[in-house]
Amino acid sequence: MTTVSSLEHSKQAYGIDEAIKQSVNVSDATQMENQFITLMVAQIKNQDPTNPVDSSQFLEQYSAMSQVKSLENMSELSKSNLVLLDNLQTLTAAGLVGQEVKVAVSSMRLDTEPVKAQINLQHASSATVLTLRDSKGVKKEIQLGSQAPGLVPFEIDPKALGLAPGDYALEVTTDAGEYPQVEISGLVSNVRVSAEGPVLDVVGAGAVPFYNITEFGQASLAGLL
């Protein structure tokens, strides 16, 4: 088993090195330079002796050619970096399975268990209201009361609120004119790889893109509802 792991590691390392070498493609750059020098020598040999070509033109042509090749190499290296970053993001997301995270959402999926959530207020509010809207458009307003600036943790208990299981749209408003983003806290049960990046299945929030994660860890929240 150890031998197989070592071989796989070597193949992966070799693949990355080869990708970088192909991106830079030094041999092609050298070949292009040799071709340019050959053409330049031929042009010098066949130029009109009474009206020789200005040497600065050769330098300008060579400089322009080098800049174009450098831009091509930079573009290929950027693509390779994006692939590596995407792979790193996927590995990071996979490592979150079974862990608790907080994700920014505009909707949530209620079952029978309470869901922990929080908002972050920039200004004090004497009237803070959480509005839940089900798939039929029926609204349920929940008074969060007077709140100071900063994090406001709360808990949504479907049984206590008389909410049936299902998907709900979320919105929080304050008398200060704020519309803070709701952050749901839940365990990551699954990670799916998509064309837009990793998608996490978070208990209480449903399918959430990786970039919607706002916090890692298991901080306890005091229930207000």
Tell me what pLDDT residue 27 has: 54
Fold of 100-216: Immunoglobulin-like (2.60.40)
DSSP one-letter string for 64-91: HHHHHHHHHHHHHHHHHHHHHHHHHHHH
Question: What does the DSSP 8-state code read for residue 220?
Answer: -
| CA 62/CA 50 separation, integer angstroms | 24
Contact 130, 118 (CB under 8 A): no
Find all residues with CB under 8 Å of 95, minimum gap 6, and list them. none
Tell me what pLDDT residue 28 has: 60
pLDDT in tens, the chain (225 residues): 433 433 344 444 444 445 444 444 545 656 766 777 777 777 777 777 777 766 677 667 767 777 777 777 777 777 777 777 777 777 777 778 888 889 899 998 898 889 999 999 999 999 999 999 999 999 999 999 999 999 999 999 999 999 999 999 999 999 989 999 999 988 888 888 877 778 888 888 888 888 888 887 654 444 444
Long-range contacts of 5-14 (CB under 8 A, 24+ apart): none
Phi then psi dihedrals of residue 148, to 5 deg: -85, 165
Residue extents of the structural domains in the chain: 2-94, 100-216
pTM, 2 dp: 0.56
Per DSSP bridges, beta strands 166-174 and 125-133 are: antiparallel
- Name the residue among 191, 193, 211, 194 with its Cα closest to residue 202: 191
Tell me what pLDDT residue 30 has: 63
